[in-house]
Amino acid sequence: MPERERRTDAERRGPSRLPYAVATTLMATLVVAAWVGRGRFRPVIAGERAPDFAAWTLDGERVALSDYEGKVLLVNVWATWCPPCRGEMPSMEALYREIGDERFEILAVSVDPGLGQVDPGGRKGVSSGDLAAFADELDLTFPILHDPGGDIQRIYQTVGVPESFIIGTDGVIARKLAGATVWDHPNYRALIHRLLAQ
């Protein structure tokens, strides 16, 4: 059969429908997966209940968010290699000292990799001694926690460091903040006092 006639036959059959069938099947699978898992993929935003997480104290004790039930919390996700994290720590300490209420706690959760580990950015891990030295250098008195696996970043759906969450006594996120913050600003002091009064 001449080549011209063969092309004419292919042109009569039209374009392949296989890519359309694959795309339709993929879309249907994604829709079904989203519908089945709709309760599991809730965004971590203000107004939602704060998800529980666990981390380690500098003394090697495992603690969880649920251990602080009934308190107003400032959960700060940070790393030692992050200049904005370091920059906001003094104002966080000033807020902590000024509030001075046993019902208010700051949980500064380092996501530095553990000693002997390297994170995806190529940064080497730290020990609890390194974190303690960091806290001593800045004269920090609030709890420093360590999550060397960075689980809190997945659980809280963070996109970087620092990111912070202010949580009320009811366990609901009152504010979510990305980036460094001046924590001893009157607006944050007022928010913490308002949450403590509830």
Q: What is the pLDDT along the chain (198 residues), one digit of tens a residue?
A: 555 555 555 555 666 777 777 778 778 777 776 666 665 667 899 999 999 999 999 999 999 999 999 999 999 999 999 999 999 999 999 999 999 999 999 999 999 999 999 988 899 999 999 999 999 999 999 999 999 999 999 999 999 999 999 999 999 999 999 999 999 999 999 999 999 999
Main-chain dihedrals φ then ψ at residue 43, nearest 5 degrees: -70, 150
pTM of the predicted model, to two decimals? 0.80
Do 21 and 65 fall within a single domain?
no
Is the residue at 86 inside a domain? yes
Alpha-carbon separation of residue 104 from 49, 71, 75, 193 (angstroms): 18, 6, 11, 9
Same-domain status, 61 and 152: yes
Same domain, 75 and 162: yes
- Distance in angstroms (rounded) separating the CA atoms of residues 4 and 6: 5
Residue labelled with tokens 């807020």: 95
Whether 30 and 71 share a structural domain = no
Strand partners for 143: none
Does one domain contain both 89 and 128? yes
Nearest CA to 99 out of 111, 91, 88, 109 is that of 91
DSSP 8-state symbol, 22: H
164 and 121 housed in the same domain: yes
- Domain range for 30 is 3-36
Number of domains in the chain: 2
Q: Are both 101 and 166 inside the same structural domain?
A: yes
Q: How many CA atoms lie within 13 A of 159 on its CB side?
A: 6
CB 52 within 8 A of CB 64: yes
